[in-house]
Amino acid sequence: MRRLLAFLPIPALFLGLLAAPAAAGPMSAQLANEAAYLGDADELREALGPERSYEAFGRAGLDPQGLFRHALMGRQQDVAALLMEYGFPSSRWEAEKILGDRHMTPEVLWLFLEKVPGFAQTYGPVALLVAARTDNAGMCRLLMETGVPVTPKALAALFLHRDLDLIGDMIGHGADPYAREDGITPVELAMQWRSADLLRVLDVRGLHAERLAELERDLRPADGTEFLGSWKYHPPGGGFGEMVFTFYPDGTGLFAGGVGAAMGVWKAGGDAATIVPMDEKGQLAEEQSMVVKLTAEGLEVPSAPGGSGGPVRIARKITKADLESDWRYPPFVRMEKVVLTGGGDLLIQINRRHLSVPLERLVRAAQESPYGRTPVDGNLLRWDEFIPGAIPAVPPGSIDLPYVDRHTSPGYSVKWDKLGFDHSTMAVLKEGHSFTVFPSETSERYYGPGCERFGESVRGYAILADRPFEHGKDWVLFYFLRSKENR
């Protein structure tokens, strides 16, 4: 059992497991962001000092925008309220940027309205515009109920999301779809985009019934419901060339790439759909049309208009889970507790979450490759496996597993059989312990389910023991996918 226990993984996901500082002093930006994410308002209050002013952020060397964003990601309203007490936001730019964060909620907006003097008057219009752009219906309705006027621009900002109910609510709160702003009215823009759905809800006076009937007759697809929604192509390995295709029920669509976006129309025929983009004046650009095709893998996209030549590109459906998550893993990891049980399990607590991992799983994974260092399903731990909350109870006979934040690699040893800090210094156990966990650098990639063709980069961690494991080495590795922003 003692040999088996050494297989246990300690998580130091992507950005590195960062322990709390041993001595008091100025709080680093990283630790401050962690505190905001985890809800440690008292730590932040101490770092910012007793004077409640915006200048406190500068004196402490902390970025209020970053702190607030991490508070939103961690759903820490107490931290959000604290940052408001110190004068955040201080400008329209700051307000617009944070209000557009995908984690912004009506509850936090209510805190702004409650705690920031004159917020509705100073920032209300931009808040409503940003909420409309992000299709945050709860925020839009709260602002309208507070008395913030709806501009034509805010009304038109909902067009891309096709939130028809919210558009109707805005009109009910006084928005004028016939009012002109930036040279065009919302009704005119709907007709320019050839959208029957938008025109129907906007033309409350029925002035364009004939045009509506024409759009319904000519553009609404008779079939092709399987195309509806948004699809995204991401180049293998990243880089330039992303594309997003959005198909609306009325036969219109939004087709975007790295150099811009265009509205257009589409028509389905079997497993294929023909897309015709429009220019900025709503004229169809037939010469730029393309045909996309549904396959078992996703939406097959041609390399260029006309669809001749070039590599096959597969766009995948954007799901609700994609829209709700910024990161495949959280933006940082703070290790809080790691325990080895006498029953052969590793208990990991990070970011106020915990996980139990059977040791046999890591042992088998190490034996799947010649050197025991290849990322496979058995030694890859996923964030969604972690359970919210602290480890409920530590079984009797368990031992704490120490973590040393110093990078190691088996590549520093001649035969890949030892862990080294560098080519001349081998890793050693923390004094008084039989096992020690280290971050372990690796250039290998994970090619498991759901990965791109070129695999996903990983961050490895090594458990060093005072005797060899079953695969003949005194270390065993485990991995996490690197933190990856969902764009």
Of 42-56, 226-240, 416-430, 460-474, the poorest mean pLDDT is in 226-240
In tens, the pLDDT along 211-229 reads: 999 999 999 998 889 999 9
pLDDT class of 43 with cuts at 50, 70, 90: very high
Q: Give the residue from 110, 104, 111, 161 showing the smallest Cα distance to 132.
A: 161
pLDDT of residue 164: 95
Q: What is the CATH number of the domain that holds 186?
A: 1.25.40.20
Give the rounded percent of residues in the chain with a pLDDT score beyond 70: 89
Same domain assignment for residues 146 and 235? no
3-state SS of 216-228 is: HHHHCCCCCHHHC
pLDDT class of 146 with cuts at 50, 70, 90: very high
Q: How far is CA 115 from CA 86, 112, 140, in A?
A: 11, 5, 19
pLDDT of residue 306: 58
Whole-structure pTM over 0.85, yes or no? no
pLDDT class of 67 with cuts at 50, 70, 90: very high
Of 289, 323, 357, which marks where a domain is finished?
A: 323
Of 44-58, 63-77, 98-112, 310-324, the poorest mean pLDDT is in 310-324
Residue found by looking up tokens 């759905």 in the block: 197
Give the rounded distance of the alpha carbon of 54 from its chain centre: 29
pLDDT of residue 10: 31
In tens, the pLDDT along 403-444 reads: 998 999 988 888 888 899 999 999 999 999 999 988 887 778
Does 473 map to a domain? yes
Tokens standing for residue 234: 């991401």
Q: Give the residue from 239, 230, 163, 178 showing the smallest Cα distance to 208.
A: 178
The whole-number average pLDDT for the span 104-129 is 94
Same domain assignment for residues 199 and 73? yes
Decide if pLDDT at 473 tops 70.
yes
Does 486 map to a domain? no
Give the rounded percent of residues in the chain with a pLDDT score beyond 90: 57
The whole-number average pLDDT for the span 132-156 is 94
pLDDT of residue 305: 61
Same domain assignment for residues 48 and 129? yes
pLDDT of residue 348: 85
Tokens standing for residue 150: 């709806």
Q: What is the CATH number of the domain that holds 234?
A: 2.40.128
Same domain assignment for residues 336 and 314? no
The count of structural domains within the chain is 3
Greater model confidence, 63 or 20: 63
Same domain assignment for residues 163 and 311? no
Tokens standing for residue 338: 């790691």
Of 208, 238, 255, which marks where a domain is finished?
A: 208
Decide if pLDDT at 232 tops 60.
yes
Does 105 map to a domain? yes
Same domain assignment for residues 49 and 197? yes
The whole-number average pLDDT for the span 207-214 is 97
pLDDT class of 238 with cuts at 50, 70, 90: low
pLDDT of residue 22: 39
Check if the beta carbon of residue 265 is closer than 8 Å to that of residue 251.
yes
Decide if pLDDT at 106 tops 50.
yes
pLDDT of residue 470: 86
The whole-number average pLDDT for the span 471-475 is 88
CA-derived radius of gyration, the chain: 27
pLDDT of residue 460: 85
Same domain assignment for residues 306 and 353? no
pLDDT of residue 24: 45
Does 23 map to a domain? no
Give the structural domain span for 266.
225-323
The whole-number average pLDDT for the span 236-240 is 66
Same domain assignment for residues 148 and 253? no
Of 273-287, 302-316, 416-430, 462-476, the poorest mean pLDDT is in 302-316
Does 112 map to a domain? yes
User: Tell me, what DSSP letter sits at residue 17?
Assistant: B
At residue 355, φ and ψ (nearest 5 deg) are: -150, 145
The whole-number average pLDDT for the span 358-362 is 87
pLDDT of residue 2: 35
Same domain assignment for residues 458 and 315? no
Of 282, 303, 323, which marks where a domain is finished?
A: 323
Same domain assignment for residues 268 and 302? yes
Same domain assignment for residues 312 and 351? no
Does 20 map to a domain? no
Decide if pLDDT at 70 tops 90.
yes
Same domain assignment for residues 295 and 169? no
Does 240 map to a domain? yes
Does 104 map to a domain? yes
Decide if pLDDT at 84 tops 50.
yes
Tokens standing for residue 450: 């759901």
The whole-number average pLDDT for the span 50-64 is 95
- As a whole number, the mean pLDDT across the chain is 86
Decide if pLDDT at 302 tops 90.
no
The whole-number average pLDDT for the span 287-298 is 92
**Within 13 Å and on the Cβ side, how many CA atoms surround 263?**
19
pLDDT of residue 16: 37
Greater model confidence, 311 or 356: 356
